[in-house]
Amino acid sequence: LKDQTVDAYVRGNAAQALGNLGQAGAKYVPDILNFLKDQTVDVPVRYNTAFAMSKLGQAGAKYAPDILNFLKDKTVDAYVRSIAALALGNLGQAGAKYASDIANFLKDQTVDAKIRGSAALALGKLGQAGAKYTPDIANFLKDKTVNANVRYIAAQALGNLRQAGAKYVPDILNILKDQTVEAKVRGSVAEALENIRQLKLEEVVVVLNYVYEPNQQNFWPSRNTKGFEYWRFLTYFLSGGTDEVKTLLKWVGYSQETPVQLKYEEGKKTLAVFRDAWKACQEQKLQRMQKDLAKQIAVVVSKVSWKPEDITLLQTHYNNLKQGNYNQADTVQSTINKVAVWKWFSSARNTILLHPAFWLALIFAYPKFPQVQAIFFWNPWVRKILGVGYVGFLLTWVPYLRRKLFEPFKPSLLADAGLDNFTSLAYFPESQVKLPGSEEIKPITEALPSIQGQIVLEGDSGLGKSMFLRHLVKTSPRIVVHLPAQKCDKGVIEAIQAKLHGQAQDAEFLKNLIYSGAIDICIDGLNEVTADTRAKIVNFVECYFRGNIIMTTQPLEWTPPSTAKTYTLQPLTRQQTEQFLISRQPRLPKDAKIQGSQYEQACRSYLADALNDGQAAEELNAAQRTLSNPMDLTLVALMLSQGKTPDLFHLQEQQYNQMADEFRKEWNYEFPLKKFSEAVYQMRLDDEKALPADIFHQELQSLEDEKYKMVVSRQWQDTAGEAKKEWYFRHDKIMDFFLVQNFFGKGDEAESRLIDHMGDPRFRGVYFLLAILLPLDEAKQLREKLIQYAADTKDHTVSDTFVQLLRTR
């Protein structure tokens, strides 16, 4: 190196060798400095000597001032000074205190660009001391007037500053994507990014875009061409290998193997990454990568079965492709159309499922909420519109739904049946009926086990028609409405509506329900109503011939519904009479004088006497007529249990006399028969059932006594929650006894009543009592009037029975 006769290039290489010796060459630093200072030494030698100095690092630290002076010496060759700047950068802490001097070279635009580049690289190696000059290095890098080789070095310097250069990543990316910047500068800034920070997806696409660069050798002219694989690696490395970037690299940037099959979740995630990458490419104007993305979007879209909720994502890609005039937009649009059709079917399916679920929920809420009843089910417009037609149909024809519809009204529908006073012990199931159109006799519970079709049950007063209805209602699993015929004066539909507490606003819907058999109907006492009311009932029954309807009546002149079958309730046989009397024992007063076997013996003895074949035929027939009537037998049972002998022709009067005697003893005044009977008469005219308890409270208590049971009571709570109690006659025969009191006497009023009520079915039983209770001559006169009435009206329902009863006298 010292030998000046040696070729300058050889001496230069010797200087480099000295620098590579590390500590072994450190003792020769003064000699190296001398070579640097000696301006007579050839430039290549001094250049390589300076390069050697830069490699000796800390060994030359104490010579840092000399190196700085050498750097400042403008007479020294620029290449040599640039290496001196690098040497200062390699001195570490020793060179750090000269950072400001080095920075001045960087800032001084009059200084040769090579020296400024080396100054930038030196600052990059000084750590924190050089970090504060990062903006100057960045500005130097961005300066397009600077030589490309120098900018190349500045990029390396910025990379060496690591986190200090993080804020300049956007500037670095701008240089990287600027096609006007020389390729090797762009390659250098790409490498610089490795040391600064992890890049986001929208940033790293700028790096990946260089995969598509055709002239890869231009990026690293001094090295072997790295090729597009390097850009893929750099993309992965700079991004930190996130899932998003991994997904992106699977599909774009000359991926060697794209997925053949794609699961739904993976496909959805891939399209989401493509969407974000597309947006970044759009913003960064990375057209080559955008073209590759367009192709892969179409591939991914075609590999997956998409769901309706993906339409927004697919539509985003379609819009992007369409705006970019890519043919792949058609593929995406085709997929969207298919998904949209499926979405329509899916929405329709969900609606079809949700709609019944909504109404099913309403069905379960229906019994407890009157608002639901009134608004959704009994309002025709709401039910038809919100029910889309099929709800009303299902409510009408599905048995379970029909039961639900009437469930909340069940207590009201059965209120008139008086089931709170009915027990299975009270009903005698051995009664028989004659079947329609034949003479065949069957037990009523066998012939009519349920309400099926349309039935007329005909029988004399007291044979048990009403009791049988109550039995049917009590045991029926279906929804049943019990209607007294008097309440049908405006029509059967109106009577049922009244029991639905105003909720059944839609009469047509109610008619459909009845027609479909949704509710069984019991109508009791057709004989007690006017011909006009009876006609309304008959018309209703014939119109709703599919409905299950049973009607009861005493024999009368009328035309039954043509669609109904008439069953005739038979009087009890002698054997049934005995069975009936004995079966009453559990229902007798607990303090009855005669009970158990004594009671049974009393029944048999009484029947033997009353039905003695030795008596006159008329008398025997009259006795049999009374004893074959369950209502009359109930009075007989009560009297026998009290040790009394029943008077078959004056049973009600005998029972009343017993009650009146006890009433007088208990309350110390006579039972007000006349006043009470007038009140009953007025009540009957007004078609009222409840007795006036406010006027006759004490009287009703005596009539209700367990020994007589002439009236029964019903208790309930009104809408205000207050307890209420009403009394009713246990049977029409008992009411007839009090009604008949208004027909006795010689006055005009009694006489006019006898005439006025001949055609009134409500007073039919009264005339039968008059046949027995009136003085014989007066009874004969009444008979003639009834015969005349029957001849004029062709109505023999009262006159024929009256004649038969009078004949027994």
Domains of the chain: 224-365 (no CATH), 410-570 (3.40.50.300), 571-648 (no CATH), 744-807 (no CATH)
Per-residue pLDDT band for 241 (boundaries 50, 70, 90) equals confident
Residue 209: predicted pLDDT: 80
Residue 792 has a CB neighbour count (10 Å cut-off) of: 8
DSSP string computed for 218-252? GT-TTS----HHHHHHHHHHHHTS-HHHHHHHHHS
Whole-Å CA distances, 365 to 384, 388, 766, 800: 19, 20, 50, 56
What's the pLDDT band for 803 if we cut at 50, 70, 90?
Answer: very high
* 557 contacts 795 by C-beta, under 8 angstroms: yes
| Residue 697 DSSP SS3 | helix
Mean pLDDT over 529-545 rounds to 91
Under the banding of pLDDT at 50, 70 and 90, the label for residue 552 is very high
pLDDT, residue 178, reads: 64
Measured distance CA(731)–CA(619) in Å, rounded: 25
Confidence of residue 246 (pLDDT cuts 50, 70, 90): confident
- SS3 letters across 433-471: EECCCCCCEEEHHHHCCCCCCEEEEECCCCCCHHHHHHH
The confidence score (pLDDT) of residue 760 equals: 87
Give the pLDDT band (50/70/90) at residue 435.
very high
pLDDT classification of 451: cutoffs 50, 70, 90: very high
Residue 382 binned pLDDT confidence (cut-offs 50, 70, 90): confident
Instruction: Work out the angle at residue 170's Cα, subtended by the Cα atoms of residues 168 and 172, and round it to the nearest 5 degrees.
Output: 70
Identify the residue with better confidence: 86 or 496. 496
Say if residue 198's pLDDT is above 90: no
pLDDT at position 224 is 54
- Global pTM value: 0.58
* Across 75-91, average pLDDT: 70
More confident residue, 395 or 322: 322
Q: Which residues contact 605 (CB under 8 A, 6 or more apart)?
A: none
Question: What does 522-553 look like in DSSP terms, one character per residue?
Answer: EEE-GGGS-HHHHHHHHHHHHHTTTS-EEEEE
Question: Is the pLDDT at 488 greater than 90, yes or no?
Answer: yes
Ranking 229-243, 541-555, 594-608, 639-653 by mean pLDDT, the lowest is 229-243
pLDDT at 572 over 90: yes
* Stretch among 27-41, 550-564, 621-635 having the lowest mean pLDDT: 27-41
pLDDT band at 780 (very low <50, low <70, confident <90, very high): very high
Tally of CB atoms within 10 A around 467: 18
Distance CA 755, CA 764 (A): 12
Report the pLDDT averaged over residues 124-134: 62
Residue 240: pLDDT band with limits 50, 70, 90: confident
Q: What is the pLDDT of residues 303-317, one digit of tens each?
A: 888 888 888 898 998
Distance of CA 497 to CAs 391, 404, 494, Å? 21, 17, 5
For the segment 83-98, the average pLDDT, to the nearest whole number, is: 66
Sheet architecture: strand order including 520-524? 441-443, 432-434, 565-569, 454-458, 549-553, 520-524, 480-484
Percent of the chain exceeding pLDDT 90 equals 26
**Average confidence (pLDDT) over 356-363:** 80
Least confident of 81-90, 253-262, 359-368: 81-90
Q: What is the average pLDDT value for the chain, to the nearest integer?
A: 81
pLDDT exceeds cutoff 80 at 601: yes
pLDDT for 598 equals 93
Residue in this structure with the two tokens 């660069």, named with its chain if needed: 213
Predicted confidence at residue 23, as pLDDT, reads: 67
Q: What percent of the chain has pLDDT over 70?
A: 75
Q: Is the pLDDT of residue 718 over 90?
A: no
State residue 350's pLDDT score: 75
Whether the predicted pLDDT of 189 surpasses 70: no
Give mean pLDDT, residues 144-150.
64
Across 757-779, average pLDDT: 91
Note the pLDDT of residue 421: 77
Whether 688 has a pLDDT exceeding 80, the answer reads yes
Q: Which pLDDT score is estimated for 163? A: 65
Long-range CB pairs of 658-667 (<8 Å, 24+ gap) are: 658/707, 658/708, 659/702, 659/703, 659/705, 659/707, 659/708, 659/710, 662/702, 662/705, 662/707, 663/698, 663/699, 663/702, 666/702, 667/698, 667/702
Q: State the pLDDT confidence band at 88, using cuts at 50, 70 and 90.
A: low
Model confidence band, residue 781 (pLDDT cutoffs 50, 70, 90):
very high
**pLDDT surpassing 60 at residue 199:** yes
Across 689-696, average pLDDT: 91
In the prediction, which pLDDT does 340 show? 80
Asked whether residue 164 carries a pLDDT value surpassing 60, the answer given is no
Question: What's residue 234's pLDDT?
Answer: 76
Region 156-176: mean pLDDT is 65
pLDDT above 70 (res 767): yes
Query: Residue 94 half-sphere exposure, CB side, CA atoms within 13 Å?
Result: 18
The answer to whether the CB of 535 falls within 8 A of the CB of 561 is no
d(CA 63, CA 653): 149
Would you call 501 helix, strand, or coil by DSSP?
coil
Q: pLDDT higher for 591 or 719?
A: 591
| Structure-token pair, residue 629 | 């009537």
pLDDT number for residue 776 = 93
Average pLDDT over residues 456-481: 91
Q: Say if residue 676's pLDDT is above 90.
A: yes
